[in-house]
């Protein structure tokens, strides 16, 4: 998890005495007015009218914790493209895996870490509020994909790609942290806006995506790997 500068949702879970729990722990985080206002500023929203996160924490084995959550929210954004407020209702599910550092020290657990994306637990504390905030941010990406301004930007972005003379034999791969349960809606939006792609990889962790491919030896060496880093909601290439 990225470094926490400010906690708009200062809700925490102490795992010190949780290793002996045999049943899941249920926690409900209901953001108050101040917390919603601060989150709206953080994520550049007009307002957040409601935000409720229903969480369950399961101690899967000593030192390992599985956090499952559902986020429900009503919010508004100011769409500069149409100069109007747009209301959204958000409902999102997420899963996070956490582990104490000492639980990952054995060889068996190191192999487990290579297979799953565990967040390390610092000082025996799981920052549930920030977990909710970051997953709320990911859910907003899906909502913004369907906003009028994003649709317009996507069309411009697609046109710019076409103007760069991408060959029919070139392969376009889109990588996203968006949950695969939304793939039908996401791909319909891309199709409706003539955005070309060959494959989408969903459910990727929130880390850097590294693209590697070989350079073809003929014709003086042909580059076969290109990547584009773009600012969120800014599609200028």
Q: Hey, is 27 helix, strand or coil? A: strand
Q: Which residues of the chain have pLDDT under 70?
A: 1-6, 18-22, 79-83, 106-116, 142-165, 178-179, 181-182, 185, 206, 219-220, 231-237
Residue 18 has what pLDDT? Answer: 66
pLDDT in tens, 96-112: 999 888 887 764 655 56
pLDDT (tens digit per residue) in 190-215: 787 778 889 999 877 767 888 888 88
Which pLDDT does position 206 carry in this prediction?
A: 65
**Structure confidence at residue 1 (pLDDT):** 44
For the whole prediction, is pTM greater than 0.75? no
What pLDDT is attached to residue 125?
A: 93
Q: Is 92 exposed, middle or buried (0-12, 13-18, 19+ CB in 10 A)?
A: buried
Query: DSSP H helical segments within 17-147, as ranges?
Result: 33-42, 107-115, 128-145
């Amino acid at each position: 998890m990225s470094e926490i500068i400010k906690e708009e949702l200062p809700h925490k879970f102490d795992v010190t005495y949780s290793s002996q729990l045999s049943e899941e722990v249920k926690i409900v985080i209901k953001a108050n007015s101040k917390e919603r206002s601060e989150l709206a500023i953080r994520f550049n929203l007009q307002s957040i009218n409601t935000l409720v996160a229903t969480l369950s924490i399961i101690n899967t084995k000593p030192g390992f914790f599985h956090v499952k959550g559902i986020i429900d929210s009503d919010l508004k954004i100011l769409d500069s493209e149409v100069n109007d407020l747009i209301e959204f209702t958000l409902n999102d599910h997420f899963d996070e895996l956490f582990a104490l550092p000492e639980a990952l020290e054995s060889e068996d657990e190191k192999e487990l870490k290579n297979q799953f994306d565990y967040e390390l637990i610092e000082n025996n504390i799981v920052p549930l509020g920030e977990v909710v905030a970051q997953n709320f941010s990911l859910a907003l990406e899906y909502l913004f994909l369907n906003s009028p301004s994003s649709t317009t930007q996507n069309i411009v972005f697609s046109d710019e790609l076409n103007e760069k003379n991408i060959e029919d034999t070139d392969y376009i791969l889109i990588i996203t942290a968006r949950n695969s349960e939304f793939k039908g809606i996401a791909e319909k939006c891309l199709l409706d806006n003539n955005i070309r792609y060959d494959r989408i990889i969903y459910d990727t962790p929130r880390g850097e995506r590294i693209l590697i491919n070989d350079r073809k030896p003929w014709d003086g060496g042909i580059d076969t790997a290109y990547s584009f880093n773009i600012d969120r909601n800014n599609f200028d290439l």
